[in-house]
Each structure stands twice: as C-alpha cells, then as structure tokens.
Amino acid sequence: MENKPQRIDLHNFIEEISKGNSSFLSRAITLGESTLSLHRNQFRDLLAELIPNSGSSIRIGITGTPGAGKSTLIESLGTYLIEKHQKKVAVLAVDPSSELNHGSILGDKTRMELLSRSKQAFIRPSPSKSNLGGVTQNTREAVYLCEAAGYDIILIETVGVGQSETAVHSMVDFFMMLQIVGGGDDLQAIKRGIYEHIDLLVVHKADQDKINQASHEAANFKKMFALFPPKESQWNPVAMTCSSKENKGISELWKMVVNYVEQTQNSGYFEKKRAAQNIKWHLELQQDQLKRFLEENPKLNQGISLINQEVEQEELTPLEASKRLEKLLLKLFPNT
Amino acid sequence: MENKPQRIDLHNFIEEISKGNSSFLSRAITLGESTLSLHRNQFRDLLAELIPNSGSSIRIGITGTPGAGKSTLIESLGTYLIEKHQKKVAVLAVDPSSELNHGSILGDKTRMELLSRSKQAFIRPSPSKSNLGGVTQNTREAVYLCEAAGYDIILIETVGVGQSETAVHSMVDFFMMLQIVGGGDDLQAIKRGIYEHIDLLVVHKADQDKINQASHEAANFKKMFALFPPKESQWNPVAMTCSSKENKGISELWKMVVNYVEQTQNSGYFEKKRAAQNIKWHLELQQDQLKRFLEENPKLNQGISLINQEVEQEELTPLEASKRLEKLLLKLFPNT
C-alpha cells in the first residue's frame, strides 16, 4: 500500500501557492505532469480554484536556434525586470526533446546563475514527456499556476524548430525570436515560415565589435517585415539589436513589449487572442481525457495486453491485430 | 450522394501496384493518408494483401539541418543507384511542419530534377498532417507499398530536428546525417544527442576547394565516434566526406551502406531491428484506432459539440468542460 498515490491537501496548496510559496508551486506543477488520473483530477480541482487569480501576467515566448543565446537573454531580461521594474519573473520551457537529450533546455540552472538565485524568479525546466502535446499542456497549465503565485512576467523558452515553436506561440501574448549576428540563415528561416509568427526579432550577441553588422542586419529584417501583409494584431514585427553580455538593448526590448501590450489591449486584440488560446487549451484537455478514458478501462486494457503479446511473439501481424482490436471495441462498447 | 466516399477496386489496386504502376502506388498512399475510417479500412485490407511482398528493400534515413544538401545528395545517390546498380529508388519524406511551411521538404520536385524524370524513381512529398504521429504512420505504410511495387531502395528524408528524426530512425535500417563542411555546430549536435542514433556522418559539400577542411572535420568525427560505447548493432558509426555537386564520395557512401547491411544481416541484428520496428508500427496503429473509435461515436460527438459550443461562448471554462466530458463518457460507456 506504500505506493498508493496520495491525495494532496487541496486547501493547503491553494493557500501556499496564493502566498507565492515557490516550493508548493513546484509541487503543483509536478502533480499536473503526472499521467495518473487521480493526480490529474486533483490537479484539475486545484487549477479550477486558482485560475480565477491567474491571467494578469504578460506571457512572452522566446525562440531561436541553439547557440542564439536564449538563456543569456533571459538572464539579462529577467534580472532587469526584477531590479528595475520590481517584477516577479517565471521562466518555463517547452522542449519535447528534453527527455532524449537529458534536458538541453534549462536543464542546467547554472546557465541562468543570477536569475536562479533571485527570490523574485522561478525557473522550471521543460516537462520530460515524449510527446509535444503533453509538454504543451503541462506548460500551459504551469503558466496559470505561476500567475496565481503572483508572477507578473512569464518567459517561455523554446528551441527554434517547427512544432514546439508553434505550441509556444499558442500560449503567449508576445513572441520573439533571437538570431545571432552573422547567423546568415535568414533565407532558411523565411522558408520555414517562422517570421510570420513573431512580434520581435532580436539580432543577438550584437557586442561592441559587431554592432555595425548587427545594425545592418536588423535594418534588413525591418525592410523584409515591411513587405509582409498586415497581421490581425495590427502590430508590425520589429527588428532590433541586443547584447546580453554587454547589457545593451535590454531596456529597449522591454519597451517594445510594453508598447505591444498597450497597443493590443487598446485594440481588444490582446483579450481576443487569449480567448482563442483558452479554447485551444480546452481542446487539448479534451483529447488527453479521451485518450486516458480508454487507456484506463480494465477490460480493454486486458484485451490489448493479449493482442500485444501475440504481436510480440509474431503470432499476429499488426494489421490482424487491428482487426482484433476493432472487434474488441465493438464488444466492450456496443453502439449506444 | 456525390460526396460519399467510394470503395476502391481492391483487386485492381493489388495487381497494378504489384506490376510497379506508380500512379496506383500514389493513389494507394493517398488513401492511407485519409482520416476517414472507410478509407483507412480499405487501406488496411490493401496493405494486408501487399505486405507479404514487402520487406526486401534497404531503408535508409537521411537527416541534416536545412541547407545541408539533403536533396542534392538524394539526387546524386538515387541517380547513381539507378544507373550503376539498376535499382529502383523511392524517396519519401517526414516533415511534420510541411503543412505550415507549405511543404519545405520535397514540396518541389524540381529540387531533384534528374531523379524525378527517371522511370526507376518514385518521389513522394511528406504527408501534410499537423501531428507527427500521423505523418510517421503514413510514411511507414508508404514504405511497405513502395516495396510491394518493387522499389529496392527507400530513401527517407527528414529535417534535422528532434522528434521527426527519432520517428525516421524508427522505420529505417540505416540512418545517416549530413553536416555541411565548416558548419561548426558539432558541439550543439552532440548536446542534442543525435550522434547516438546515426550509422554514418557525411561531411557534405566537400567540394574541391574545401576538401582539406572536410577531411579534417571527418577525421575529428571519427575520433569522437571512437569514444562512444559500442552499439547493439556492433556497427561503429563512420564519418566520410562527400560532394554531391562534384559527384565525389557517392560510390564510397553506397559501399558503406552495403557493408552495414551485410554485417548486420550476418549478425542477425538487421532482422531483430525490423521486428522491433514492426511492434512499434502495431502500437502506432493501435493508438490511431482507439482515437478514431471515440471520434466516430455519434452520441459522443454530439455531446462534445455541445460542450465545445459552450466553451466558445465562454459559458463553460475548460476545466468545467472537462468534468462534463467525464460524466458523458461514463454515461455512454458504462464500465463493462
């Protein structure tokens, strides 16, 4: 009986998280990452209580290829926000490959040394799941919890590749991309269609000796952005230079985010986007729930185990197994 | 009634595909990509008939970041195999982002001009699905169909990023990675854990003026590979240089693949790996089938539509919706 999953003290969790207790915040996020229905149900109850206190932060997505300096930028920006604007900053990550790669993103808090020592900051590595859907859902829910715990700014880091980028875009208010000065892969990125999604492009590592080149590159991006069709947000993507190492461009970057938030809150787009993201979250929850419903049916499970054994022993081909499963499903769940 | 999905003439399809009719092969692959159960069931029957004639090809995965020259290598290697070894070559792709990016991989057959004109070659772009699981399953099934149609070599191209790479690795016999000479991102790649999965690293675009640098880089990779723990295949990953533009290194590359196949067929690893991949395919089919079973239940569908409407009209929060769905599921499918 020792391994029986324990019920959490819901009331205690709500109270501690609302006080900003980061250790309870961490534990709550871990509970949400569980695949057990008991845990997921408890988590759902907890979240339902806390969600009314969420929603007041600014959610910022940060993407860029490995080496673009996402961690150093987050370190600089986070420290700046805490020191100059008295903000509380949470850093989350979406990296579906983190299990395979032993947590390449944020696995190492030492990459954000200053920030990880600050009491005003909360840093959480990417959930280790093998599928992007699970990672996305957990991160989205972690955002609400962080907000309920009083964090004003949520920074969500992701690797600059395809689907995880799209996932992060679907949960943030503002999306920025870092590109290293001299990276020269602008054409590749256009081809990959990423620029359509960003609100800000940062030509990063624009240190003293590279500032001219960086300014030139940023100017080229601006020209390119001017050719894009207008976005629904009516915000024209901006390009700017930044050096996290020399701490240059950070306050300008923040000003840009504030401008964006003001403009889109005035136009109503900010709320509209959040409502759409809420529906997206609902649909993700639904998919997950449908999947778990079947997975946790004992008779179905038993039948599937038998089928799987026969496939493993090469007594059944995958296609024969598929026909067997079809029959089993119809038997267990006759059309109602 | 015009839009009612049509039954295919199974017998005719089997006959034409077995004769190597590439237009029927194309249509069969399209049928498998359908999400309608009628189509999927027909496809399953077709596949069940054709699978006994499949399995005799060599399946090769090719990965590398955008710009590494995957298309040009496939063009050179494919043409070489057709002309020098009288092979029939099929080229497939796994790129889950292809819908978003309007088909960045293989969307444009002109990128493989020679190969696309050859009657001994079959080129098929990545399925346009929004989730990797669907893309993976479709591509795996396309492999069997191509084999049944008489293709000896299946080349599967993928972008050099996380999960799609892992997916391709799970359906090929041999996995190679292209890295552009002077790319210099070797450390990043190590961090990303990709090298653990490859059988061959090609330092690509090793044209005349860069051959020294390329050889140096290949030598460094060899040193690195020597430090890896032995693989279950007992094959030591190889590094070599290649210039598709100057047609250099292609025959050496092919020799390496042949060596690998001989060695692993003799050791029994080749068959063992295919059996494991077969089980993986079975589990993918199963997941897909369970998902469709619920999606296609009319009463459940109706209930979900109502719930979704209320969420869209903000009458229900996502978490309240989740509780409603739980009740609905228990009502429709009482535990048996």
pLDDT at B103: 45
Task: State the distance between the two ends of chain B, measured CA to CA, in whole angstroms.
Answer: 38
Cβ(B173)–Cβ(B60) below 8 Å: yes
Determine phi and psi for A40, rounding to 5 degrees.
-60, -40
State the amino acid at position A188 in one-letter form: Q
Q: What is the mean pLDDT of residues B60-77?
A: 90
Q: What is the mean pLDDT of residues A109-120?
A: 83
Q: Closest partner residue to B286 among A66, A275, A325, by Cβ? A: A325
> Distance between CA A36 and CA A8 in Å, rounded?
14
Listed range (A123-127, B47-51, B245-249, B299-303) with the worst mean pLDDT: A123-127
- Give CA separation, A294 vs A333, B133, B246, B281, in Å: 11, 18, 55, 19
B292 vs chain A: nearest CA distance in angstroms? Answer: 10
Model pLDDT for residues B31-63, shown as the tens digit of each residue? 999 888 788 889 989 999 999 889 899 999 999
Which chain B residues are closer than 8 Å to A105 by Cβ? none
Angle at A237 (CA atoms; ends A234, A243), nearest 5 degrees: 150
Confidence of residue A87 (pLDDT cuts 50, 70, 90): very high
Cβ(A195)–Cβ(A185) below 8 Å: no
B278 vs chain A: nearest CA distance in angstroms? Answer: 7
pLDDT at A109: 55
Model pLDDT for residues A187-202, shown as the tens digit of each residue? 455 545 677 789 999 9
Q: What is the mean pLDDT of residues A96-105?
A: 52
Q: Is the pLDDT of residue B196 over 80?
A: no
Q: What is the mean pLDDT of residues A86-94?
A: 94
> Distance between CA A193 and CA A63 in Å, rounded?
14
Confidence of residue B128 (pLDDT cuts 50, 70, 90): confident
pLDDT at A184: 60
> B126, B278, B286, B313: which to substitute to probe chain A, counting the most A Cβ within 10 Å?
B286
Q: What is the mean pLDDT of residues B134-140?
A: 87
Q: What is the mean pLDDT of residues A126-132?
A: 73
Contact flag B192-A97 (C-beta cutoff 8 Å): yes
Q: Closest partner residue to B285 among A279, A318, A335, by Cβ? A: A318
Contact flag A193-B304 (C-beta cutoff 8 Å): no
> Residue A180 carries which DSSP code?
E
Q: What percent of chain B has pLDDT over 90?
A: 56
Cβ(A92)–Cβ(A155) below 8 Å: yes
Which chain B residues are closer than 8 Å to A133 by Cβ? 131
Total CB pairs under 8 A between chain A and B:
155
The CB density around residue B6, as the number of other CB atoms within 10 Å, is 9
Contacts with A283 (C-beta within 8 Å, 6 or more apart), sequence order: B308
Contact flag A333-B329 (C-beta cutoff 8 Å): no
B95 vs chain A: nearest CA distance in angstroms? Answer: 9
Confidence of residue B191 (pLDDT cuts 50, 70, 90): very low
Model pLDDT for residues A273-313, shown as the tens digit of each residue? 999 999 999 998 898 888 888 888 889 999 999 999 999 99
Smallest CA-to-CA distance from B322 within A298, A134, A274, A290 is with: A290
pLDDT at B184: 59
Let me know how long chain A is. Answer: 336
> Distance between CA A156 and CA A74 in Å, rounded?
9
Instruction: Pinpoint the alpha helices (H) of A268-297.
Output: 269-295
Contacts with B20 (C-beta within 8 Å, 6 or more apart), sequence order: B88, B149, B150
Which chain A residues are closer than 8 Å to B318 by Cβ? 278, 281-282, 285
Listed range (A236-240, B131-135, B177-181, B216-220) with the worst mean pLDDT: B131-135
B83 vs chain A: nearest CA distance in angstroms? Answer: 32
Q: Closest partner residue to A332 among B166, B329, B336, by Cβ? A: B336
A255 vs chain B: nearest CA distance in angstroms? Answer: 31
Phi-psi region of A220 (alpha: psi -120 to 50; beta: other; left: phi over 0): alpha
Q: Which helix (H) or strand (E) holds A41?
A: helix A37-50
Which tokens hold the place of A130? Answer: 């093998």
> Distance between CA A105 and CA B218 in Å, rounded?
28
Which chain B residues are closer than 8 Å to A311 by Cβ? 278-279, 282
pTM of the model: 0.69
Which tokens hold the place of B117? Answer: 């004109």
Which chain A residues are closer than 8 Å to B166 by Cβ? 100
pLDDT at B220: 87
> Distance between CA A199 and CA A173 in Å, rounded?
10
Q: Closest partner residue to A294 among B131, B290, B311, by Cβ? A: B290
**What domains appear along chain B, each with residue ranges and CATH number?**
56-267 (3.40.50.300), 297-332 (no CATH)
Q: Is the pLDDT of residue A104 over 60?
A: no
Contact flag A285-B320 (C-beta cutoff 8 Å): no
Contact flag B51-A319 (C-beta cutoff 8 Å): yes
Cβ(A244)–Cβ(A204) below 8 Å: yes
> Distance between CA A148 and CA A139 in Å, rounded?
14
Q: What is the mean pLDDT of residues B17-28?
A: 96
Q: Closest partner residue to B329 among A293, A323, A332, by Cβ? A: A293
ipTM: 0.78
Contact flag A294-B294 (C-beta cutoff 8 Å): yes
Find how far residue A76's CA is from the centre of its chain.
20
Contact flag B317-A48 (C-beta cutoff 8 Å): yes
Contact flag A67-B312 (C-beta cutoff 8 Å): no
Higher pLDDT, B156 or A126: B156
Which chain B residues are closer than 8 Å to A67 by Cβ? 185, 188
B331 vs chain A: nearest CA distance in angstroms? Answer: 10
Cβ(A118)–Cβ(A82) below 8 Å: yes
Confidence of residue B97 (pLDDT cuts 50, 70, 90): low
Which chain A residues are closer than 8 Å to B335 by Cβ? 297-298
**Minimal Cα distance from A285: which residue of B?**
B322
Smallest CA-to-CA distance from B171 within B191, B142, B201 is with: B142
Q: Closest partner residue to B281 among A161, A318, A325, by Cβ? A: A318
Q: What is the mean pLDDT of residues A65-79?
A: 90
Determine phi and psi for B54, rounding to 5 degrees.
-105, 180
Which chain B residues are closer than 8 Å to A333 by Cβ? 293, 297, 332-333, 336
Contact flag B282-A318 (C-beta cutoff 8 Å): yes
Which residue, chain included where needed, has tokens 């989205």?
Answer: A140
A234 vs chain B: nearest CA distance in angstroms? Answer: 21
Higher pLDDT, B127 or B103: B127
Which tokens hold the place of B132? Answer: 């990797």
Q: What is the mean pLDDT of residues A140-158?
A: 96
Find how far residue B265's CA is from the centre of its chain.
22
Cα dihedral B317, B319, B320, B324, rounded to 10, equals 130
Q: Is the pLDDT of residue B190 over 60?
A: no
**Minimal Cα distance from A194: which residue of B?**
B101
**Minimal Cα distance from B188: which residue of A?**
A66
pLDDT at A251: 96
Higher pLDDT, B59 or A41: B59
